[in-house]
Amino acid sequence: MDLDFWWLLVIPVAFALGWVASRYDLKALLSESANLPRSYFRGLNFLLNEQPDKAIDAFIEVAKLDPETVELHFALGNLFRRRGETDRAIRVHQNLLSRPDLPVNERDHALYELGQDFLKAGLLDRAEETFRSLKSGDHALGAQRALLTIYGIEKDWNRSIDTARQLETMGAEPLGLEIAQFHCELAQEALQQKKPDEARRQLDLALKANPHNVRATILGGDVDAAAGAPQAALGQWRRVEEQNASYLPLVAEKVMKAYEALGRVEEGAQLLTQWVDQYPLNDLLDVAYKYVSELHGPEAAHTLARTQMQKSPNLAGMTRLLEAQQATAEEPRRSELQLMRTLLQQRTKNLPRYTCQNCGFRARLFYWQCPGCSGWETYAPRRVEPIPASS
């Protein structure tokens, strides 16, 4: 009985304590809400009603009335930057940095956002200076990534390499693919400046960073060809088939030039025919078709084009097949084929495109770095025929 009596006392006491605590929390919440400026609620209302311009004006008023609203300043700065109003974003983040009592982590955050403002505004030197000041803290890794972007825009490949290495030591994902491409860019510059030894050194570093880098192999052949060594160049370019056969169209014409320099054009044409048979790529067919036609005549070229179309039917291949049929046809069939080929060429001249697998950017030329998203090796070295939306 004593135990039951004490439980009867404990239950109402616990209930009373909970009621008091809830009243206290409610009172504190109401007090905090009462202290918030009316502009804050007007801003929220504008956001809910999809009126971002009016919401921004309301939040600016809040920031003026209550300068301690640090998170609101960050939100405003990001809004301005996304809207392209980088000058206003810069002022917001500079105002934050002018506060002497701003905590270290908030100061780093403000510096990082200010660097992003400068980068969006195209002020690369000021962005670089800002990001370089973030050597530690939560935003150090993001600052290094931004620096890598800046050096890529400036085509400062040596600094790009150093920054990528620094990112790896800070725990970022492996960047061997990008580092190899940076070395290839330096090799390309050395080749243009007629510095073959420096070009070879950079290509060795590229393959060390990424042994599967096809570009380094192709450039290695270019260096040998420029040095008057077609046999060595041929050996480099033929290695592309082992690395990644889809890149063969990039070296097909180079391979034939090397065979011509060696006086072995027939052997080169046979190799290209073999490649076309194994790898149904239109760009590869274009090169092989030209040399087979010159060496063996239109009938052999027609057979090559017809076989390719049977394996991989497409509009570009159809154009080539019509050309081959036209070369072997007699009048009036030849005129009819010419008309069909002309109409097909007009319809398809803008279709074949290299397409970035990352952002979908389409280009007439092949790029190792996408002009749209700046990604490396995102273009498949094969032109595709995009299907119109209406289809």
Contact 182, 161 (CB under 8 A): yes
- When pLDDT is cut at 50, 70 and 90, the band that residue 15 belongs to is low
Mean pLDDT to the nearest integer, 360-381: 87
Contact 355, 362 (CB under 8 A): yes
Contact 146, 113 (CB under 8 A): no
Nearest of 154, 152, 204 to residue 183 by alpha carbon: 204
Cα–Cα distance measured from residue 121 to residue 346, given in angstroms and rounded to the nearest whole number? 41
Q: 174-240: same fold as 67-172?
A: yes
* Residue 350, H or E segment: none
- When pLDDT is cut at 50, 70 and 90, the band that residue 23 belongs to is very low
Contact 175, 164 (CB under 8 A): yes
For 173, phi then psi, to 5°, come to -65, 155
How many residues are given for the chain?
A: 391
Cα–Cα distance measured from residue 212 to residue 243, given in angstroms and rounded to the nearest whole number? 6
C-alpha separations of 34 from 22, 26, 28, 29, 295 in Å? 18, 12, 10, 9, 90
Q: Give the list of residues 6+ apart from residue 24 with CB closer than 8 angstroms, or none.
A: none
Give residue 113's pLDDT: 93
pLDDT (tens digit per residue) in 30-47 = 344 444 455 544 554 544
DSSP state of 216: H
231's tokens = 């046999």
pLDDT (tens digit per residue) in 110-151 = 999 999 999 999 999 999 999 999 998 999 999 999 999 999
The dihedral region occupied by 247, where left means phi > 0, alpha psi between -120 and 50, and beta the remainder, is alpha
* Boundaries of every domain in the chain: 67-172, 174-240, 260-351, 353-386
Contact 368, 380 (CB under 8 A): no
Does residue 184 have a known ligand-binding role?
no
- Token look-up 């929220």 returns 44
Give residue 85's pLDDT: 87
pLDDT (tens digit per residue) in 155-214 = 999 999 999 999 999 988 999 999 999 999 999 999 999 999 999 999 999 999 999 999
pLDDT (tens digit per residue) in 217-263 = 999 999 999 999 999 999 999 999 999 999 999 999 999 999 999 99
Contact 47, 83 (CB under 8 A): no
Three-class SS state of 336: helix
CATH number belonging to the domain at 174-240, selected among 2.30.110.10, 3.40.630.30, 1.50.10.20, 1.25.40.10: 1.25.40.10
Cα–Cα distance measured from residue 227 to residue 250, given in angstroms and rounded to the nearest whole number? 20
Contact 127, 115 (CB under 8 A): yes
- When pLDDT is cut at 50, 70 and 90, the band that residue 385 belongs to is low
Nearest of 176, 179, 184, 190 to residue 203 by alpha carbon: 184
DSSP string, 98-134: T-TT--HHHHHHHHHHHHHHHHHHT-HHHHHHHHHT-
For 75, phi then psi, to 5°, come to -65, -40
Q: 67-172: which CATH architecture?
A: Alpha Horseshoe (1.25)
